[in-house]
Amino acid sequence: MTENNPRNLILILGDQLTPSLTALAEADPNRDHVVMAEVAEEAGYTNHHKQKLALIFSAMRHFATELEQAGWCVHYHAFDPDSAHQSLGDVVRETADAVGAEGVVATECGEWRLDQAMRQWELPVSLSIRPDNRFFATVERFQKWTRNRKQWRMEYFYRELRRESGLLVDADGQPEGGEWNLDASNRKKWKGDPPAPPAFRVEPDATTRAVISEVGSHLGGHIGNTDSFGWAVTREDALAALDHFLTHRLPWFGDFQDAMADDEPNLFHALLSPYLNIGLLLPREVCEAAQAQYHAGRAPLNAVEGFIRQILGWREFVRGLYWTLMPGYADENRLGNTAPLPAFYWTGDTRMRCMAKAIGNTLEHAYAHHIQRLMVTGNFALLAGVHPEAICDWYLGVYADAFDWVERPNTQGMVMHADGGILGSKPYAASGKYINRMSDHCRHCVYNVNATTGPDACPFNSLYWHFIDRHREHFKSNPRMGMIYRNWEKQGEEQRAAVLAKAEEALVNVNAL
Ligand code: FAD
Ligand code: DLZ
């Protein structure tokens, strides 16, 4: 560092912990400074789980230390509830002023709210925003793909990205194994074999322990607890988490991708999303590492294709969709839902075993796998007609990996069908039968999954038919739902009335379920 004023102040956000970040790429530790800030405004825009706060703050502090070791001058603003600077804009303005920077450089942020705020910051010098190149596809690439397409389906965008990235594609541009998508082989119920591997965890070091204590003192009102905190907070440990997944989980990831188990909450899922989303791991390296396992004969194609599709397919697709449709997307509520979020989402205090397990695990670990999010907590919110904003806010808060760009399309679109089918051609609504098929929760539940009416009937059953019935106008011409409506009609008027009455009772007493 010279004794002169820095040329640029480089802003690095809490989800931009990547040494190759574009804002850093052209910068020079001898001429430019870095600013990073833990601030009340970012900690407080939703009820972030305490583990999410601890993960982000600790990973930021470790990243700042690594930058300093690499010769950067880092102005680090640690969380201080009494600070005069409670927003990122405040800290950047004050730091740029104090060091006399000639300009501020940032990388595009990942969410609409902050992106809009950043573009309106009143700074003493100009702000230059660089593109975020940590994805396979740019937003422009996604938008080019959407042009002249009536429907946007992940599958077709994914195939293009497979060809462009070369992942699991042969020399003729064809999918390895002959099929683009092996999802049909990935729907097995797990019956205990092979045993689920133990969770990968990193013992909190002194920095993480200090952060956990500060989160407890200053942000103690936030949801969840940090007792089980074992997230990686450095790239080195995130790479170890990746390695653990590749060795112990990937081979069975495909077979049991949709499975749930009463006493094994994670099964063969990766638990890598927080690291991908805050930049400790990059999607390409993760997909290439999984592909290498297939080529080395250490993981089957259905597992590796299924895993790569989640990242190269879904993750890229929802990001493109988010930046193409925001801000209007956030207001979508095509099913006209109005119900509040049931209180048990914040406590796990419900007799529905699958819900209690998914929510309990979420509150304890700031994590639940995709099927728990989609087919249990999401499905229930859909069937109960919860307002999309209320359920979006829950998902944004409770998961360590939650950022608006990925959470919102998954919730608003995939779960709540609030976008009218842009993200999915059919709602992921399901009765208890689905949960019973994919898990052993129902065996431990006080409700009877085989009953739709009667005192012990599984609430998912009547609520499912209530959903189908009340949205008849919306879905009746959907070719993928014709059979469902025919089955509903076949049940006869008396049975339908009993089912609807049972569902009404559940909706009125939702917090007692
Ligand atoms: P795995 O099942 O092992 O999958 C591997 C990776 O694929 C994940 O790490 C993730 O990066 C990616 N991935 C998988 N599914 C999706 C998807 N549908 N969309 C985008 N990426 C995907 N994911 C987030 O990263 N942040 C969120 O805030 C988020 N909110 C969600 C909300 C709802 C209602 C639903 C249904 C899904 C949400 N997802 C979100 C997607 C998915 O549930 C998580 O990415 C996954 O559970 C993370 O755990 P994992 O790393 O063990 O994933
Ligand atoms: C989620 C989050 C939290 C809780 N805290 C901070 C913070 O104090 N400082 C920061 O730079 N970023 C934080 N983040 C992430 C941002 O809120 C925001 O979601 C992302 O930067 C969007 O790209």
Rounded Cα–Cα distance for residues 173 and 167 (Å): 10
**Cβ of 35 less than 6 Å from ligand 2:** no
Q: Specify whether the CB–CB gap between 378 and 415 falls below 8 A.
A: yes
Please name the helix (run of DSSP H) or strand (run of DSSP E) that holds residue 36, with its range, or none. Answer: strand 33-37
**Cβ of 403 less than 6 Å from ligand 2:** yes
Q: Cα(95) to centroid of ligand 1, in Å? A: 36
Q: Cα(269) to centroid of ligand 2, in Å? A: 25
The pLDDT of 459-479, averaged and rounded, is 95
* Beta strand 33-37 pairing with 73-77: parallel
Find the range with the poorest average confidence among 105-109, 394-398, 421-425. 421-425
pLDDT at 6: 76
**Cβ of 445 less than 6 Å from ligand 2:** no
The proportion of the chain whose per-residue pLDDT surpasses 90, expressed as a percent, equals 95
Q: Cα(297) to centroid of ligand 2, in Å? A: 40
In sequence order, what are the residues at sequence separation of 6 or more whose Cβ sits closer than 8 angstroms to the Cβ of residue 453?
A: 462, 495, 498, 499, 501, 502
The pLDDT of 441-450, averaged and rounded, is 98
In sequence order, what are the residues at sequence separation of 6 or more whose Cβ sits closer than 8 angstroms to the Cβ of residue 275?
A: 232, 238, 241, 242, 281
The pLDDT of 59-65, averaged and rounded, is 98
For a pocket test of ligand 1, which of 276, 311, 370, 428 has the largest count of ligand atoms closer than 8 A to its C-beta? Answer: 370
The pLDDT of 366-371, averaged and rounded, is 98
Q: Cα(373) to centroid of ligand 1, in Å? A: 9
Residue 213 has pLDDT above 80, yes or no: yes
**Cβ of 56 less than 6 Å from ligand 2:** yes
pLDDT at 148: 87
Q: Cα(41) to centroid of ligand 1, in Å? A: 25
pLDDT band of 3, cuts 50, 70, 90: low
In sequence order, what are the residues at sequence separation of 6 or more whose Cβ sits closer than 8 angstroms to the Cβ of residue 324?
A: 139, 142, 143, 146
**Cβ of 8 less than 6 Å from ligand 1:** no
Residue 186 has pLDDT above 90, yes or no: no
For a pocket test of ligand 1, which of 264, 362, 406, 428 has the largest count of ligand atoms closer than 8 A to its C-beta? Answer: 406
**Cβ of 414 less than 6 Å from ligand 1:** yes
Residue 480 has pLDDT above 80, yes or no: yes
Q: Cα(271) to centroid of ligand 1, in Å? A: 9
pLDDT at 187: 86
- Rg (the chain; Cα; Å): 24
Rounded Cα–Cα distance for residues 466 and 460 (Å): 10
